[in-house]
Chains A and B, each alone.
Chain A
Amino acid sequence: MAGVKASVFPGFAVRARPAAELKGRHLADAPDDSTLVARTLAGDEAAFAALVERHWHTAFGSAWAVLGSAGDAEEMAQATFVQVFEKLAALRDPGAVGGWVWRIARDTALKHIRKHGRMKPAAEVPDSARDEDRPFTPLVQREEREALHAAMNELPHEMREALMMRYWQELEYEEMARRTGMSEMALYQRVCRGLKKLRELLEDKT
């Protein structure tokens, strides 16, 4: 068996990052949402800009999930934050801005569809490509996307946010910790729990 390194096969099952590596790393240099909300209400524009930047991908991702078009989603994300700015004083739990932004963006996008109609469905994958890959694509892409997003809507926001950062924005745990002020270990647990919950939600539907 010359040429095959001993580490090759066992590497498959146990590549998980040891938990100890993640523990104790806590990079909290960002003010939390409640602080930013309070400062915005006190008239600090920079605080609101920071809030928008922090939750931009939540609003954009949520609108994109409904619309499937980057240009429209960007417009909806902007409209979302204008609403957020107007209604900020009425927000009861300033720590829950993220979930709120997700819902407003979703509602705004749905309203947009009702008004202007849905985008044309994207071009289908040619049949030849689908035949070759049939064993691997159990669902048609669009159905799959819609099922995923229905499940995403039911996730608690902290799990959804962790999943979005990890798998939509492809961030490392270190960067996620820097942005949220949480420990990498806590974020890792959220991602794992989120994946598991997502799977349960999708299984319930099928």
Chain B
Amino acid sequence: MNTKADEGFDRTPQGQAMAQLLRRHAPPDSDAHAGAKAVMERVAGRGRRINLMRWLVPAATAAAAALIVLVIALPDNTRAPAPPTETPRAAPAAAVSRGVPATALVTRLRGPLAGGWRLDAGLQDGLRVGDRLQGAEGAVAIVTAAGIFDSRVRVEGAASRGSAFMAIGDSAAMRRAARLGHLGGDPGAFLHLGAVFDYAPYAEARMMGLADGRALRAAEVIPAILRDFAGEPEISLAARMGLQRGDVIEAANGLPVRDLGELAAALDAGLGGRMSVTVMRIGQRLELVAR
């Protein structure tokens, strides 16, 4: 088998799609150390049932206590009906454990700023302006500006630096983050542009005269991006061009574009000058320009 040829496959859109598929169906966390301990008990205790019971009873008590502690520590998780098995897993489940939806996005407040608080999750995690995150003791964080990796939030209720906030499992943020996973490549690059893409349906692309039926379509346009945390949100390049959701990309800077790689290369070619994107919008061909 030619191993060299496969190197880098994990960075191709196909490889990324497989990685996202695996992540979407990842099993919940399981404690290998505790598991091994239980197995050793069973192996050693075969034929000695009394010993087994002596282990099982405290274990069950401890598990129940841990569950109660978790329920108290994470209020308002009653709104999370999604089972951990069927929803996409997007965030590293650092503060999430068994018994709590493993799909929640959990993030922390960093230092307070003049314009609000800084939060450790951003566009790439599916957060958008207006999203609400739930914190401890009824505190709520509302996103007022979003950067790629972090956001600025307004906090209502008691919170301090380091407080955890979470988006519940089936929230819009989680769906958006899962959607980014379908894109392949690095969504961050496209969030800089201010747009998220998917592929137009085959038949639609064929009707536009694209022979192989493959065409990028803007799935979401993000109007403003927080580039520098201390600064103000800037109008995104996509918004300055007037790109709209549903626009099918034909070309950028005069180069034909069929996938994300080609779009990245074409946009790169125009950096520092006039940027143009040719799109099909409801049967019309438009050239969108920004300087």
- Cβ B273 vs Cβ A1 within 8 A: yes
A97 adjacent to chain B (CB < 8 Å) = no
Chain B residue numbers with a CB within 8 Å of A56 are 30, 32, 35-36
Measured CB to CB, the nearest residue on chain B to A64 is B27
B71 adjacent to chain A (CB < 8 Å) = no
A2-32 at interface with B (beta carbon < 8 Å): 3-6, 8-13, 15-16, 19
Chain A residue numbers with a CB within 8 Å of B264 are 9-10, 12-13
- Cβ B21 vs Cβ A65 within 8 A: no
**Interchain residue pairs with CB less than 8 A apart (17):** A1-B290, A4-B271, A6-B272, A8-B189, A9-B267, A12-B260, A13-B264, A15-B186, A16-B11, A45-B40, A56-B32, A85-B39, A123-B83, A141-B87, A142-B86, A189-B3, A196-B15
Measured CB to CB, the nearest residue on chain A to B35 is A56
- Cβ B30 vs Cβ A73 within 8 A: yes
CA of A50 to CA of B270 in the docked complex: distance in angstroms?
A: 56
CA of A128 to CA of B186 in the docked complex: distance in angstroms?
A: 28
Shortest beta-carbon distance from B114 to chain A in Å: 21
- Cβ B175 vs Cβ A133 within 8 A: yes
Chain B residue numbers with a CB within 8 Å of A78 are 35, 38-39, 42
Chain A residue numbers with a CB within 8 Å of B261 are 12-13
Chain A residue numbers with a CB within 8 Å of B85 are 68-69, 122, 145
A195 adjacent to chain B (CB < 8 Å) = yes
- Apart from A144-B21, A167-B19, A195-B15, 15 more pairs, CB < 8 Å: A1-B291, A4-B271, A6-B272, A9-B189, A9-B192, A10-B264, A19-B7, A49-B40, A50-B36, A52-B36, A136-B178, A142-B86, A192-B15, A195-B19, A199-B14
- Cβ A133 vs Cβ B6 within 8 A: no
**Which of A16, A45, A53, A133 has the most CB atoms of chain B within a 10 A radius of its CB?**
A53
B234 adjacent to chain A (CB < 8 Å) = yes
Chain A residue numbers with a CB within 8 Å of B82 are 123
A-B contact count (CB 8 A): 192
Tell me the dominant secondary structure on chain A's binding face: helix
Chain A residue numbers with a CB within 8 Å of B1 are 193
B275 adjacent to chain A (CB < 8 Å) = yes
- Cβ A125 vs Cβ B170 within 8 A: yes
Chain B residue numbers with a CB within 8 Å of A148 are 21-22, 25
Partner-A contacts on B (CB < 8 A): 1, 3, 6-11, 14-15, 17-19, 21-28, 30, 32-33, 35-40, 42-44, 46, 81-87, 92, 98, 170, 175, 178-179, 182, 185-186, 188-190, 192-193, 198-199, 201, 219, 227, 234, 237, 260-261, 264-265, 267-268, 270-273, 275, 290-291
Chain B residue numbers with a CB within 8 Å of A122 are 83, 85-86
CA of A129 to CA of B219 in the docked complex: distance in angstroms?
A: 15
State how many residues of chain A have any CB contact under 8 Å with chain B: 67
Measured CB to CB, the nearest residue on chain B to A70 is B28
CA of A167 to CA of B192 in the docked complex: distance in angstroms?
A: 26
Measured CB to CB, the nearest residue on chain A to B227 is A3
- Cβ B32 vs Cβ A53 within 8 A: yes
Set A69, A77, A199: member contacting B18, Cβ < 8 A: A199
CA of A77 to CA of B31 in the docked complex: distance in angstroms?
A: 11
A102 adjacent to chain B (CB < 8 Å) = no
- Cβ A192 vs Cβ B9 within 8 A: yes
A74 adjacent to chain B (CB < 8 Å) = yes
Shortest beta-carbon distance from A19 to chain B in Å: 6
Chain B residue numbers with a CB within 8 Å of A73 are 27, 30
A82 adjacent to chain B (CB < 8 Å) = yes
CA of A36 to CA of B253 in the docked complex: distance in angstroms?
A: 61
Measured CB to CB, the nearest residue on chain A to B181 is A136
**Which of B33, B35, B185, B219 has the most CB atoms of chain A within a 10 A radius of its CB?**
B35
CA of A167 to CA of B178 in the docked complex: distance in angstroms?
A: 15
